[in-house]
């Protein structure tokens, strides 16, 4: 029998909402996983990628991670992992450094045997390169085998990777696929094989409402899975509380009603995410955020989802400023490629952390068509170039990429093949788009070590 903790998408170093406290929360969640591993004396900790949120973690995050891995090593518990898209670099990976230090094992085509189970690895591979994969793994001579991989696999949300192809083309028969990239915990069977995501260990976006945790996976023996070869159980982690508040306003109601609704919740040290819906008068989000913070919230964000007519010269919706932007973009005579990029960037159907890779795939598909980069004229300025309406970003997503996680925060794979994760989806409430500025002297690159 082999018992392992299956975790992933820890995103250490993510300064969510530009908050240093939230940055520390992500490291603390990873440390909690390590604590549980030591306390439960598991046989290994398996990490399915995106250990770091960025390819250049700052020094405190790097040192904190090494400290946690040393505690695991002191307990003789191996740390087995693959590389995710957020932390991937062109050359040596952070995981390689940890392996040189004797603190981790980077999984690959060779089996790493723990107990009666052989573990293999598949780092994140951009969609444009997956046709080249052969899924050739070296044989093993133990009872069970598991593939640890980072990507968006079927049959889960946002999937762009055919799980059945991986299983049927692999030279090893796997009993389980232990996955990372999708921040929503889930599991299913494909071709008789367990396929599971543990979810992220901290909420990396406002869409990740359910509690965070990890999987405890048992191969063989009584886990107790009633005799099943693979038993998967979810364990919860105690993380910072997120309080989701929906305020429905009726005619004649406004800021005072919103303030009252916010004060009805215990917000001490919590992240308060307030959503305004219904009718009622205009509300100033900053004023409501101030109320939440006065009630003890660490962070407060307010989103007004109502459509409120104003007497201004332009008819702009509080809930959908995208309409005004879209109207302006349509008048600019952009090329087909440019319109596609614009739709992808602004689409709610594309998780923010997926935008970079989605755009790259779109450009790759059009690169051999010079006409796609020719500025539109006449009717083409507001259509797809042939008089037909340009597909929406959401429709485009279905043909290319899906997220769980969050605002685009620089991470990703190499410069040519970046695609940010966060796979559970992002409803835009986070208010964090773009990389938090970190003093360069605190950032650390692999070139400093390898």
Query: What are the binding residues for Mn(2+)?
Result: 9, 11, 50, 85, 150, 183
**Do 45 and 78 meet the contact criterion of CB atoms below 8 Å apart?**
yes
Annotation says 47 is catalytic = no
Question: What are the backbone dihedrals phi and psi of residue 422, each rounded to the nearest 5 degrees, phi first?
Answer: 100, 60
Residue with tokens 């996983």: 33
My answer on whether omega of the bond before 155 falls inside 30° of 0, hence cis, is yes
- Identify the CA nearest to 66 among candidates 52, 53, 54, 76: 52
Catalytic residue among 86, 250, 265, 433: 86
Packing angle of the helix pair 322-330, 336-346 (nearest 10 deg): 180
Residue-wise burial string across 14-40, b where 16 or more C-beta atoms lie within 10 A, e elsewhere: bbbbebeebbbbbbbbbbbbbebbbee
Q: Identify the DSSP state of 443.
A: B
Paired tokens of 398 = 């279905």
Annotated binding site: 9, 11, 50, 85, 150, 183
Among residues 248, 256, 300, the alpha carbon closest in space to that of 279 is found at 248
CB 199 within 8 A of CB 212: yes
Question: What distances in angstroms separate CA 112 from CA 80, 82, 143, one per listed residue?
Answer: 9, 12, 13
Residues belonging to the active site: 86
């Amino acid at each position: 029998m082999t018992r392992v903790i299956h975790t992933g998408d820890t995103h250490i170093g993510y300064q969510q909402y530009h908050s240093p406290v939230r940055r520390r929360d992500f490291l603390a969640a990873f440390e909690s996983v390590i604590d549980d591993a030591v306390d439960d004396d598991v046989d290994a900790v398996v990490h399915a990628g995106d250990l770091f949120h960025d390819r250049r973690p700052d020094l405190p995050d790097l040192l904190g991670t090494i400290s946690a891995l040393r505690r695991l090593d002191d307990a003789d518990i191996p740390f087995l992992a693959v590389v995710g898209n957020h932390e991937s670099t062109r050359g040596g990976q952070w995981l390689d450094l940890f392996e040189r230090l004797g603190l981790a094992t980077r999984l690959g085509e060779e089996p790493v045997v723990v107990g009666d189970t052989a573990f293999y690895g598949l780092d994140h591979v951009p969609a444009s390169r997956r046709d080249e994969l052969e899924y050739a793994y070296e044989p093993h001579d133990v009872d069970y085998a598991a593939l640890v991989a980072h990507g968006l696999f079927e049959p889960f949300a946002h999937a762009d990777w055919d799980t059945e192809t991986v299983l049927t083309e692999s030279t090893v028969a796997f009993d389980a696929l232990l996955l990372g990239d999708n921040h929503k915990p889930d599991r299913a069977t494909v071709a008789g094989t367990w396929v599971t995501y543990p979810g992220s260990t901290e909420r990396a976006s406002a869409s990740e409402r359910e509690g965070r945790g990890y999987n405890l996976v048992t191969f063989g023996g009584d886990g107790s899975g009633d005799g099943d070869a693979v038993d998967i159980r979810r364990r919860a982690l105690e993380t910072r509380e997120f309080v989701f508040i929906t305020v429905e306003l009726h005619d004649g109601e406004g800021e005072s009603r919103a303030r009252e609704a916010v004060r009805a919740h215990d917000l001490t040290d919590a992240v308060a995410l307030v959503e305004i819906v219904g009718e009622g008068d205009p509300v100033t989000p900053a004023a409501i955020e101030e109320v939440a913070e006065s009630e003890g919230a660490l962070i407060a964000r307010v989103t007004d989802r109502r459509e409120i007519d104003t007497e201004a010269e332009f008819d702009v919706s509080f809930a959908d400023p995208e309409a005004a932007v879209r109207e302006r973009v349509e008048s600019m005579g952009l090329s087909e490629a440019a319109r596609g990029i614009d739709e992808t960037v602004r689409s709610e159907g594309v998780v923010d952390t997926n935008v970079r890779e989605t755009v790259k795939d779109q450009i790759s598909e059009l690169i051999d068509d010079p006409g796609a980069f020719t500025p539109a004229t006449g009717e083409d300025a507001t259509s797809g170039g042939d008089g037909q309406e340009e597909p929406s970003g959401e429709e485009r997503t279905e043909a290319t990429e899906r997220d769980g996680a969050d605002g685009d925060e620089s991470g990703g794979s190499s410069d040519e093949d970046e695609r940010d994760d966060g796979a559970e989806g992002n409803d835009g409430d986070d208010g964090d788009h773009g990389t938090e500025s970190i003093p360069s002297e605190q950032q650390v690159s692999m070139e400093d070590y390898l």
